[in-house]
Amino acid sequence: MSEIVKKARVKHGGSLKGRVVKVSSKKGSFETPTKAPTSTEINGKRNISFDGPFINPVFEISQRYLKKENVQNLHRKNGTFNRKISEINAYTDSLIDRYLVKYFPQIPSGIELDDRDIRILIDLQLESNINLITIPEPSNNCSSTDFHDNFTKYWEYIAEVKPTATAMPYINLKQDHNLFENKLNLLKEYEHALHTIGIKFASIREYRPNLMSLAEFSEHDFWVHCSDGRRVSNWRALSPGGQLHALQRYGIDTVSIEIPMGGGSISDKDYTTARYFNQTSVTIPKIIDSVDSEGNLECNCPICSGQNLGEVAENLKRYASTKKPLRSVVSDFSKVHEVFASTNEFEISKQKIKEDSLKEYFDEKEGLKEHNST
């Protein structure tokens, strides 16, 4: 039985021009760049009872592990492993027949995982309805030898236990440049045997050298997915740029967002300050700044359809509660909107890559201009 992902081929572009990769799988083929909705966005859809389907080819189920102890509990506390599988399958049961579904354990970058920790995270995926198997790094600062030994060991283990699954070894963007580059070069040796690579997101500005190496790597036939993405680099900005769309310049093909930590106390009166993806500018301003003079949302995606913001808020009040104020519900609405609008914008940029005009496209978008300097 062959793997779920059969091959990945670069079809257009490369380097800082962005690229289009064709990914062929048993679930069908798709072209990148595109967005992968996460369990966070699926939750948002459930929270407001929106039944319209996401049509993205890839979905990511993410779970947060704040401390090493949370990972260790999977192999030290009876019942924890089984509960996690049940949580994963609650999402995958409705997805697995039609889509590629992957898993991402959201673990702080400073945590070092030992062999038993990694093994249990692999087993968690193998025994769940997951067909793209994440192989975590032991740590973001582990040596390239340890990185290589870890991913080849578990790649072989995955192939033995679940031959239909596809392995996706991860490299943390947040590490020394030479170390990051050495690990990329190790993976390069497995081109056409290993089809997928995972990148754990870190600041685009701070880790630009690593992204430049990734851009140079982009001539190679791998599907590169970025997890744990932060939607904006600076929430204090009046209209922060959509930095996840900037990643396509660096050879990243699909992106998914982090599980947000959540803010402090908020009230119903604050709902107009919820952030909202503006497709025209590829920025994420407050939702009140994305309406026309009559208060209608300037978006025709399946959930917005040019509705009046006040009427949207009024309709969403039924999902609010003392524990979930209206602003949180409006934020869920915004997350669902962003899946549709962001995915559509990636379709536009995909065409620009094919026309070799991604740089000009970035210059036209307020939220992407700053990422066009290199």
Tens-digit pLDDT profile for the chain (374 aa)?
A: 689 999 999 999 888 899 999 999 999 999 999 999 999 999 999 999 999 999 999 999 999 999 999 999 999 999 999 999 999 999 999 898 889 999 999 999 999 999 999 999 999 999 999 999 999 999 999 999 999 999 999 999 999 999 999 999 999 999 999 999 999 999 999 999 999 999 999 999 999 999 999 999 999 999 999 999 998 887 777 778 889 999 999 999 999 999 987 655 565 568 999 999 999 999 999 999 999 999 999 999 999 998 999 999 999 999 998 778 999 999 999 999 999 999 999 999 999 999 999 999 999 999 999 888 76
**Exposed, middle or buried: residue 318 (CB in 10 Å: 0-12, 13-18, 19+)?**
exposed
Distance CA(330)–CA(6), nearest Å, equals 40
- As given in the structure block, the two tokens for residue 163 are 């031959």
Task: Output the pLDDT for position 322.
Answer: 76
Beta bridge partners, 24, equal 7, 29
**What does pTM read for this prediction?**
0.96
Write the CB contacts of 145 (distance below 8 Å, at least 6 apart in sequence): none
List C-alpha distances in Å: 201 to 42, 139, 153.
Answer: 21, 14, 24
Which stretches within the chain are classed as H helix? 39-47, 68-76, 80-92, 115-126, 144-161, 177-188, 208-217, 243-246, 309-316, 326-354, 358-364
* Matching residue, tokens 């890839």: 58
Cβ of 366: how many Cβ atoms within 10 Å? 15
The sign of the torsion formed by the CA atoms of 263, 35, 178, 232 equals negative
DSSP code string of 16-38: GG-EEEEEEETTEEEESSEE--B
CATH architecture of 5-261: Alpha-Beta Barrel (3.20)
